Amino acid sequence: MDIWNKPAAGFAMTSLIAASLALGSCGYHVAGKADLVPKDVHTIAIPPFSNGTVKYKLSDSLPEAISREFITRTRYKPVNDPTQADAVLSGSVVRYVAYPTLINQATGRTSGLQIIVVLNVSLTERATGKVIFSRPYYEAHQRYELSTINNYQYFDESGAGIQRLSKDVARDLVTSILENF
């Protein structure tokens, strides 16, 4: 049976195809895909973050992780010298808090910790001084467990926790900069 030879069936099929094409090009798109960074920015300097906390390694690992994220996900090239960059991503670690989340019932010792870090981050166009992106109170969280050998020894897992936190912050910040959030 050839449906194209029947006037009603042919009209219905043509209408269905036309409706599908119209709906497929309705203009719907995902919000937040605009790039905040001006087109003439090609290099970004990410100097060490200032640190107002006692956790000294954090201010070093964050810029390293953010640089790696820019390299792997963007067209922007991180550079070391802020005077040679088109834009500068500066930041400061405002607060670091770690508190127990798990307690070993047998020993009464902490076996899990929650890290909370508060950052102040901004991306500034070097030539004009215009702030391209700003997160004045960016809060990041990471949990990790303490590995115990016995009641008297444990492995300090905070370094690994800080590395995971740095990667999470880097991924989120670069996404926020790229997707206009």
Q: What is the distance between the alpha carbons of residues 138 and 163, in angstroms, rounded to a whole number? A: 17
Question: Do 97 and 169 fall within a single domain?
Answer: yes
Tell me the whole-structure pTM to 2 decimals.
Answer: 0.71
- Position 148 pLDDT exceeds 70: no
CATH for 41: 3.30.160.150
Nearest by Cα to 178 from 75, 77, 105: 75
Note the pLDDT tens digit of each residue in 30-57. 444 456 688 889 999 999 999 998 887 7
Q: Which two tokens stand for residue 58?
A: 């954090």
Note the pLDDT tens digit of each residue in 77-97. 999 899 999 999 999 999 988
Highest mean pLDDT: which range of 72-76, 112-116, 146-150: 72-76
Q: Which two tokens stand for residue 128?
A: 């004009």
Note the pLDDT tens digit of each residue in 92-131. 999 988 877 776 667 666 667 788 899 999 999 999 999 9
Question: Do 102 and 166 fall within a single domain?
Answer: yes
**pLDDT at residue number 38:** 85
Question: Do 20 and 96 fall within a single domain?
Answer: no
**DSSP at 37:** S
Question: Do 58 and 143 fall within a single domain?
Answer: yes
**pLDDT at residue number 123:** 95
Question: Do 40 and 126 fall within a single domain?
Answer: yes
Question: Do 73 and 7 fall within a single domain?
Answer: no
Q: What is the distance between the alpha carbons of residues 78 and 30, in angstroms, rounded to a whole number? A: 28
**DSSP at 49:** P
Question: Do 84 and 164 fall within a single domain?
Answer: yes
Q: What is the distance between the alpha carbons of residues 153 and 78, in angstroms, rounded to a whole number? A: 41
Question: Do 68 and 46 fall within a single domain?
Answer: yes
Percent of the chain residues past pLDDT 90, beyond the cut:
42
Per residue, the 3-state secondary structure of 145-173, as one string, reads: ECEECCCCCEECCHHHHHHHHHHHHHHHH
Question: Do 2 and 56 fall within a single domain?
Answer: no
Query: pLDDT grade, residue 155 (50/70/90)?
Result: very low
Domain that holds residue 143: 33-179
